[in-house]
Structure formats: C-alpha cells, structure tokens
C-alpha cells in the first residue's frame, strides 16, 4: 500500500501504558524518511479530548474524507511504523490544516 505525508492510516498503536490498540494515525514524516529508512512517523488520532495542551481537534472539513467520529490529533503520541504495519488508509488531511497540525506538534512537543 502506498502512503504519504498527511495520510490518515489505521495502525496498531502502542499506548503510554504499554498496551496496544488499533487507532487512526496521521503520517507526519516526509517521503525522504520513508525512502531512506523504510519507516514513517505518525501521531495518534483519538476520540478522547483530554490533555488539551497536546490536542488538536480534527474537523471533517480539514479532510478529504470525513471520519465517523469527532477526533483529535494527540500531538505528543508519535511513533514509527513500516508500511507493512498499515491496516488501512482512511483519509488525508488537506495541506493548509496539515501545516497547522505540524506547527501545533512542534510548539507543544519540541
């Protein structure tokens, strides 16, 4: 499956407590990372809005295909994946909103 920066994919995400749960995730790394390292970096998307400091509300108008529930990018929950770990691709964030998310990740995490 081909994936790109800004895609929302479903992966098995490791939670802070060490357990794993299937979640949507936004691919934040660029094609160069994938081509060079055979991995990509993604941030978790959740329906829970706690930890406001690290949360970016993801509205359906920001996406090429709507999500089924109100969702939030969890800017502090970043993990690496290989393409073989992608369960499915469900949407893509529009460029303008991706830049806002990326800036929020940078401002809140780094």
Kindly indicate whether the domain formed by 7-109 is annotated with CATH number 2.30.30.110.
Answer: yes
Residue 35 in this model has a pLDDT that exceeds 90 = yes
For the chain, the DSSP string reads: ----TTEEEEEEEEPTTS-EEEEEEEE-S-HHHHHHHS-EEEEEEES----GGGEEEE-GGGBSS--SS-EEEEEEEEEEE-GGG--EEEEEB-HHHHHHHHHHHHHHH-
Q: Using one digit for the tens of pLDDT, what is the confidence trace for 84-101?
A: 999 999 999 999 999 999
Confidence class for position 1, pLDDT limits 50, 70, 90: confident
Q: Domain boundaries in the chain?
A: 7-109
Distance CA 12, CA 14 (A): 7
Q: Using one digit for the tens of pLDDT, what is the confidence trace for 38-51?
A: 999 999 999 988 88
């Amino acid at each position: 499956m081909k994936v790109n920066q800004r895609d929302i994919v479903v992966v098995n995400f490791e939670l802070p407590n060490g357990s794993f749960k299937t979640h949507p995730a936004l691919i934040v790394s660029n094609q160069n990372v994938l081509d060079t390292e055979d991995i990509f970096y993604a941030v978790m998307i959740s329906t829970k809005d706690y930890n406001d400091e690290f949360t970016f509300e993801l509205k359906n108008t920001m996406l090429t295909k709507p999500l089924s529930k109100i969702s939030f990018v969890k800017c502090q929950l970043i993990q690496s994946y290989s393409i073989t770990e992608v369960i499915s691709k469900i949407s893509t964030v529009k460029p303008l909103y991706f830049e806002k998310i990326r800036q929020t990740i940078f401002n809140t995490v780094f």
